[in-house]
Amino acid sequence: MNAACGLLLHARLATLEGDDCGLLDDGALAWRDGRIAWVGAGRDLPREFDDLRDDAIDTRGALVTPGLIDCHTHLIFAGSRADEFERRLQGENYAAIAASGGGILATVRATRAAGEEALLAAALPRARALIADGVTTLEIKSGYGLDLAAELGMLRVARHLGAELGIGVRTTLLALHALPPEFAHDRNGWIDFACDTLLPAAARAGLADAVDAFCEGIAFTPAEVRRLFAAARALGLPVKLHADQLGDSGGAALAAEFGALSADHIEYSDAAGVAALAAAGTVAVLLPGAFYTLGETRLPPVAALRAHGIPIAVATDLNPGTSPLASLRLAMNMACTLFRLTPTEALRGATVNAARALGLADRGRLAPGLRADFALWDAGHPAELAYWIAGPRARQVVAGGRRVVIGNAAP
């Protein structure tokens, strides 16, 4: 498999083509130069792939899915917030801890002090945990640097991490996450800096694939986010938004207004917000790990999302404060148990719809021409992927046609 070419035989392929899992039994999957070359029933495999037969892998009926895509993470950070976990268990809430100097700013202090090498070293095991769970592409946000050098540093580390692990990484400049201490009394100064200095610098360096903001009562207002999004638009950068997680600030409608790739969380989005997402073609990203961690009770408007045909994605939101979750499959499980997604919706949410939430058309399904990103599972049915709570990991994970993790079981 190391030449980025290969052939899988006798696989149960979940292609994710069509409206469901796109199951194909006794399937074959051929790839060359890191791209999928052919997918179909094994008996129909064309002769032109005969050269791959000698080294073909007989999966003996293993389930094969597209590589999973974690489309919302804050995977790069230093320090730990286990102390805040303890405080919350004693009854303090997230907003009060943030107001007392903890929360995001605690991670900003640790991240600024860490240096890029230490940030990479801390992030690698988190990424490896995701990969063992079938992930071949992940999005990583900045937002714990909150000055020029530290924000660009986080994005550089994200790029290095993708190269080091051989997986896809998409970077997002989370420019409005919290007000940095230097601007504690100058909100407008920080928005100006983000729009006029930070975004252009990240864009010039090619370090940001998208721009994000935390639009929330405890964070930034829609008017502030609107200024940031206008600056992103002027630079040709797509936007995403942390929207309506703890209250309805009209985040979904704001995301839609700027044609955002995704609106994330959206527990409190109202009917008009959901309708706006539908009209804009914006993906709804559900983050049950944060909902679980904060003990939230307000459910995202799943029925309305379905009624409007809005693509639903599911992600870990891996972050040190509200979602210390390094398993996309557990996020899928939580999306089913907590939000009542079907297992098929959860799988679509971690593949085809997650790709869309990142603006990526070259992955998330098993189809010719797409990246050869896939995972082999010791599972009989796709529903098993969301069914387990921390169950068996992937048997094998392949990204760009190359094996990135070898599980315990030999193929």
Q: Which is nearer to ligand DI6, 183 or 214 (CB)?
A: 214
- The residue within the footprint of ligand DI6, chosen from 21, 29, 71, 104 (CB under 6 A), is 104
Query: Minimum Å distance from CB 289 to ligand DI6?
Result: 8
- As a whole number of angstroms, the distance between CA 324 and CA 122 comes to 14
- Residue 311's binding partner among Fe ion, ligand DI6, none (Cβ under 5 to 8 angstroms by kind) is none
| CB-based contacts of 222, cutoff 8 Å, min separation 6 | 215, 249, 250, 251, 254
- As a whole number of angstroms, the distance between CA 185 and CA 10 comes to 63
Query: Minimum Å distance from CB 214 to ligand DI6?
Result: 5
Residue 190-229 contact track with ligand DI6, rule CB under 6 A, x = bound: ------------------------x---------------
- As a whole number of angstroms, the distance between CA 190 and CA 265 comes to 25
- Cα 242 → chain centroid: 13
Q: Which is nearer to ligand DI6, 242 or 363 (CB)?
A: 242
- As a whole number of angstroms, the distance between CA 226 and CA 41 comes to 50
- Residue 333's binding partner among Fe ion, ligand DI6, none (Cβ under 5 to 8 angstroms by kind) is none
Q: Helix, strand or coil for residue 71?
A: coil
What's the Cα-to-Cα distance from 392 to each of 150, 288, 387, rounded to whole Å?
Answer: 37, 21, 11
Q: Whose structure tokens read 């891996």?
A: 318
| 267 part of the interface to Fe ion, by CB under 5 A | no
| 103 part of the interface to ligand DI6, by CB under 6 A | yes
- The residue within the footprint of ligand DI6, chosen from 179, 290, 358, 394 (CB under 6 A), is 290
| 317 part of the interface to Fe ion, by CB under 5 A | yes
| 377 part of the interface to ligand DI6, by CB under 6 A | no
| 321 part of the interface to ligand DI6, by CB under 6 A | yes
Query: Minimum Å distance from CB 317 to Fe ion?
Result: 5
| 331 part of the interface to ligand DI6, by CB under 6 A | no
Using the contact rule CB under 5 A, the part of the chain among 13-21, 62-70, 111-119, 317-325 near Fe ion is: 317-325
| 112 part of the interface to ligand DI6, by CB under 6 A | no
Q: Which is nearer to Fe ion, 96 or 294 (CB)?
A: 294
User: Can you spell out the DSSP letters for 90-159?
Assistant: TT--HHHHHHTT-THHHHHHHHHHH-HHHHHHHHHHHHHHHHHTTEEEEEEE--S--SHHHHHHHHHHHH
| 248 part of the interface to Fe ion, by CB under 5 A | no
Structure-token pair, residue 351: 């593949």
- The residue within the footprint of ligand DI6, chosen from 242, 329, 363, 395 (CB under 6 A), is 242
Query: Minimum Å distance from CB 290 to ligand DI6?
Result: 4
Reported as type and span, the H/E element at residue 38 is strand 35-41
Residues numbered 167 to 196 that lie near ligand DI6 (CB under 6 A) are: 177
Q: Which is nearer to ligand DI6, 147 or 378 (CB)?
A: 147
Helix spans in 17-61 (H):
none
What's the Cα-to-Cα distance from 388 to each of 150, 333, 343, 347, 397, rounded to whole Å?
Answer: 38, 7, 11, 13, 18
Q: Which is nearer to ligand DI6, 214 or 339 (CB)?
A: 214
- As a whole number of angstroms, the distance between CA 355 and CA 137 comes to 9
Query: Minimum Å distance from CB 5 to ligand DI6?
Result: 40
- As a whole number of angstroms, the distance between CA 376 and CA 62 comes to 6
Residues numbered 55 to 84 that lie near ligand DI6 (CB under 6 A) are: 74
Q: Where along the sequence are the contacts to Fe ion (CB under 5 A)?
A: 317
Q: Where along the sequence are the contacts to ligand DI6 (CB under 6 A)?
A: 74, 103-104, 107, 177, 214, 242, 245, 287, 290, 317, 319-322
